[in-house]
Amino acid sequence: MDAKNILVIVGAGGHGRVVADAALAQGGWTRVAATDGDPARCAGELLPGVALQGYEPAVALRDAVFHVAVGSARAREHETHAIGAQRLAAVIHPAATVSPFAEIGAGTFVAAQAVVAPRAKVGVSTIVNHGAVIDHDCVVGDYTHIAPQASLSGAVRIGARVFLGSGARVLPGLSVCDDVVVGAGAVVIASITEPGVYAGVPARRLK
């Protein structure tokens, strides 16, 4: 984070509001603003003090950095490319625990009560949501979302654009390939090597 920067949150939905809340708690920004690709969502405030403004003027702001806060992995990927990864800022809630020996990618969000352990590596524009745990030596790919209370045991490898649902668990050392959805509460006990939707205990392919 650069204390001289304005932070613009791209995405005026519920997740954008959570990121704005964390950015205000994080502090150090000259201003926190927000925008959205939908012009109907570009007026008023996302939260008190976080003004919404039109997309074009917002992305043209000099001295601004951006955080893409949209739920869909594909949309997050698209918007990240449109803005440019070098202009992205991570937002880390001060109540998250992130090891100084972990790596957090550009534009990634780490919510309150999340834990990212040493030698974990989290990609670009990824979401580590409330209370999620990324244990030691895990690798989490770009645009992935680890939902609230989901947990990765040590040395797990998660691909790009994966959605790991609330409270889902992945046992130590396993891998999940790109473009997988894991349902809420699932327990992944064997590596997942085919894109698809998986759920249950143990996790089985639904689609």
Ligand X SMILES: CC(C)(COP(=O)(O)OP(=O)(O)OC[C@H]1O[C@@H](n2cnc3c(N)ncnc32)[C@H](O)[C@@H]1OP(=O)(O)O)[C@@H](O)C(=O)NCCC(=O)NCCS
The residue (of 137 and 179) whose beta carbon lies closer to ligand X is 179
15 is catalytic: no
The residue (of 85 and 112) whose beta carbon lies closer to ligand X is 112
Residue entry with tokens 């580590």:
128
Q: Which residues bind ligand X (CB under 6 A)?
A: 129, 147-148, 165-166, 181, 183-186, 197, 199-200, 206
Name 118's Cβ contacts closer than 8 Å, sequence gap at least 6: 99, 101, 102, 136
User: Is 145 labelled as part of a ligand binding site?
Assistant: yes
Read off the tokens for 99.
Answer: 């090891």
Shortest Cβ 199–ligand X spacing (Å): 4
Nearest residue relative to ligand X (C-beta): 183
Query: What Rg, from alpha-carbon coordinates, does the chain have?
Result: 17
**Residue 97, burial from CB neighbour count under 10 angstroms (0-12, 13-18, 19+):** middle
End-to-end CA gap in the chain: 40
User: Is 71 labelled as part of a ligand binding site?
Assistant: yes
The residue (of 11 and 165) whose beta carbon lies closer to ligand X is 165
Annotated binding site for substrate: 71
Q: What residues are annotated to the active site? A: 136
